[in-house]
Amino acid sequence: MRRKLIVVSNRGPLSYGTGPDRELVARRGGGGLATALRGLLSLHDVTWIASAISAEDRQLAGEARAETARDGAPFRLRFVAHDEQAFDRYYNVVANPMLWFVQHYLWELAYTPRIDQAFHVAWDEGYAAVNGGFAAAVLDELDREPDAAVFFHDYHLYLAPRLVRTAAPEATLMHFVHVPWAQPDYWHILPERIRFAIHDGVLANDVIGFHCDRWRQNFLDCVRDILGEEGGVRAITAPISVDVAEFERLATADEVLAAEREIVDRRPEKLIVRVDRTDPSKNIVRGFRSFELYLEAHPEMHRRVGMLALLDPSRLDVPEYSEYVGAVQREARRVNDRFEENGWTPVDMQIADDFPRSVAAYKQFDVLLVNATMDGMNLVAKEAPLVNERDGVLLLSENTGAFAELSDWAVPLNPFDVEAQAEAIDVALTMDERERRDRLQAIRAHVRENDVNAWIELQLAALDAVVPAARH
């Protein structure tokens, strides 16, 4: 059944730049959401609403343009041009760090955050204003296609659904939350009017999706605590996943093979890989410390094992993120200063946005370290095993959404326990080949069965359950 859909997310599937002959050039991000939603574009009539990021996007803003996806599927793309100061406040003050830090339990509450007048202004004139801009664009598109269903994405857009609902009471609205939902006490960091507006805004949707039951249940607990409401909410668990065919294609792409040759030339006998954005929730500092503890306990493995940390720089306009990069660099340096020998650097840290290199590392890991302190899903835990060629072992934080699916086959980690993480590295490196293969195959089978299309199907089924069939 072909559906009319309006997808709304902060970042769209492409952004425009200017080419050598001053022509407009579309630049496609490698990013997760655009890839995950590709299946929608080819099977349904999609209008995508996203923030104008570049100057070129801003020139194109205001009405939808006809675009084609990589596979040739047509879709419409509408940029929303926000006031630049409003966008800065919305993105760099409210969404990151405030909402991200609340939803991942990252504040140091004795000292941070300090909610001051600047934050209140950022909320009113930044976050609320940008959400208002998105809502206006959605309503405009609903005028054109009143039966289209609207799919909001993530923590940037908590206020838009209520704004749309108020103006279009009959609209079909769905929201997918890609981050953890904190439990009520932690939401109480935010002033009452703000925590109320967030939950009230999200509750204006017909369906709300989460990556695992844990975040979903936390959301329902918050609705009760913060809004004083029970029931009436259709909250679903739909774990995001991987485009399997895409990753199989990538595994043999030229640029991945080139990157892989470089890794093979440099790699020690055993390779521990981590691939993350430089985000304080990713727990990179403790990961290096755990590796140090492992090396301290296993001098026989010196020169034979290395950690390859491929880190994508992230949100460097936000001071908490810049500081975190500094802490990550300092810790890697400290471990290397302690153990480095001629020809062996224990931690090979590369801070760059290099997706082909990440896929190459996925193929080459003996141990994959995913130790996030909190993570909505963590797609690395699904992507890397799919293409790994060394019967590698997944070490997985129990605070990731992925843990709900993969815990039977991963080595579980408490992300705060560096001693246990060092021991888990040893467990993984000494696991016998048969067990490693069985575990990896099981993860792979699970991801193949529960791929990105299954994720989309779960959402569409939930939508069908709330919307009269005639509406499609």
Residue 286 as a binder of a copy of itself (CB under 8 A): the answer is yes
**In the complex, least distance from residue 286 CB atom to a copy of itself, rounded to whole angstroms:** 6
Q: Which is nearer to a copy of itself, 10 or 278 (CB)?
A: 278
**In the complex, least distance from residue 132 CB atom to a copy of itself, rounded to whole angstroms:** 23
- Cis status of the peptide bond prior to 97, with omega within 30 of 0: yes
- Over the window 12 to 31, marking each residue x when it contacts a copy of itself by CB under 8 A and - when it does not, the resulting string is --------------------
At how many degrees (to 10) do helices 284-297 and 319-339 cross?
10
H or E segment to which residue 376 belongs: none
Residue 114 as a binder of a copy of itself (CB under 8 A): the answer is yes
H or E segment to which residue 247 belongs: helix 244-251
Residue 120 as a binder of a copy of itself (CB under 8 A): the answer is yes
Residue 376 as a binder of a copy of itself (CB under 8 A): the answer is no
**In the complex, least distance from residue 471 CB atom to a copy of itself, rounded to whole angstroms:** 38
In this chain, which stretch among 134-142, 376-384, 409-417, 458-466 interacts with a copy of itself, using CB under 8 A? Answer: 409-417
Among 67, 417, 426, 464, binds a copy of itself (CB under 8 A): 417
Instruction: Give the C-alpha separation, 235 to 91, whole Å.
Output: 26
**In the complex, least distance from residue 110 CB atom to a copy of itself, rounded to whole angstroms:** 4
Residue 196 as a binder of a copy of itself (CB under 8 A): the answer is no
Give whole-number Cα distances, 369 to 290, 294, 322, 365, 392, in Å.
Answer: 11, 13, 23, 9, 11
Give whole-number Cα distances, 362 to 105, 277, 381, 406, 410, in Å.
Answer: 29, 15, 10, 17, 16
Q: Which is nearer to a copy of itself, 169 or 299 (CB)?
A: 299
Q: Which is nearer to a copy of itself, 66 or 110 (CB)?
A: 110
Residue 228 as a binder of a copy of itself (CB under 8 A): the answer is no
**In the complex, least distance from residue 423 CB atom to a copy of itself, rounded to whole angstroms:** 10
- The per-residue DSSP string of 176-206 comes to E--SPPPPHHHHTTS-HHHHHHHHHHHHTSS
Give whole-number Cα distances, 422 to 303, 425, 429, 469, in Å.
Answer: 17, 5, 11, 54
At residue 67, φ and ψ (nearest 5 deg) are: -130, 170
**In the complex, least distance from residue 383 CB atom to a copy of itself, rounded to whole angstroms:** 24
Q: Which of residues 68-97 bind a copy of itself (CB under 8 A)?
A: none
Among 414, 427, 442, 444, binds a copy of itself (CB under 8 A): 414
At residue 362, φ and ψ (nearest 5 deg) are: -55, -40
Q: Which of 295-324 are b and which e, b meaning 16 or more Cβ less than 10 Å from the residue's Cβ? A: beebeebeeebbbbbbbbebbeebebbeeb
Residue 416 as a binder of a copy of itself (CB under 8 A): the answer is yes
What is residue 262's DSSP assignment?
H
**Nearest in space to 15 (alpha carbons), one of 73, 81, 74, 72:** 81
Instruction: Give the C-alpha separation, 258 to 45, whole Å.
Output: 38
Residue 367 as a binder of a copy of itself (CB under 8 A): the answer is no
Q: Which is nearer to a copy of itself, 283 or 364 (CB)?
A: 283
Q: How many CB atoms lie within 10 A of CB 109?
A: 9
Residue 314 as a binder of a copy of itself (CB under 8 A): the answer is no
Residue 278 as a binder of a copy of itself (CB under 8 A): the answer is no
**In the complex, least distance from residue 222 CB atom to a copy of itself, rounded to whole angstroms:** 11
At how many degrees (to 10) do helices 380-387 and 433-449 cross?
120
Q: Are 5 and 151 in contact (CB under 8 A)?
A: yes
Q: Which is nearer to a copy of itself, 69 or 349 (CB)?
A: 349
**In the complex, least distance from residue 172 CB atom to a copy of itself, rounded to whole angstroms:** 32
Q: Are 290 and 421 in contact (CB under 8 A)?
A: yes
Q: Which is nearer to a copy of itself, 123 or 134 (CB)?
A: 123
Among 63, 317, 389, 398, binds a copy of itself (CB under 8 A): 398
Q: Which two tokens stand for residue 247?
A: 């990753």
Among 227, 420, 427, 431, binds a copy of itself (CB under 8 A): 420
How many residues in the shown chain lie near a copy of itself by CB under 8 A?
46
Residue 381 as a binder of a copy of itself (CB under 8 A): the answer is no
Residue 371 as a binder of a copy of itself (CB under 8 A): the answer is no
Residue 289 as a binder of a copy of itself (CB under 8 A): the answer is yes
Q: Which two tokens stand for residue 362?
A: 């996925």
Q: Is the dihedral of CA 63, 66, 70, 73 positive or negative?
A: positive
Distance of CA 226 to the CA centre of its chain: 26
Among 66, 111, 169, 228, binds a copy of itself (CB under 8 A): 111
Q: Which two tokens stand for residue 212?
A: 């695992």
**In the complex, least distance from residue 419 CB atom to a copy of itself, rounded to whole angstroms:** 5
Residue 373 as a binder of a copy of itself (CB under 8 A): the answer is yes
Among 143, 192, 230, 337, binds a copy of itself (CB under 8 A): 192
Instruction: Give the C-alpha separation, 412 to 419, whole Å.
Output: 13
Binding site for a copy of itself (CB under 8 A): 104-111, 113-117, 119-120, 182-186, 188-192, 218, 221, 280-281, 283, 285-286, 289, 293, 324, 327, 373-374, 398-399, 414, 416-420
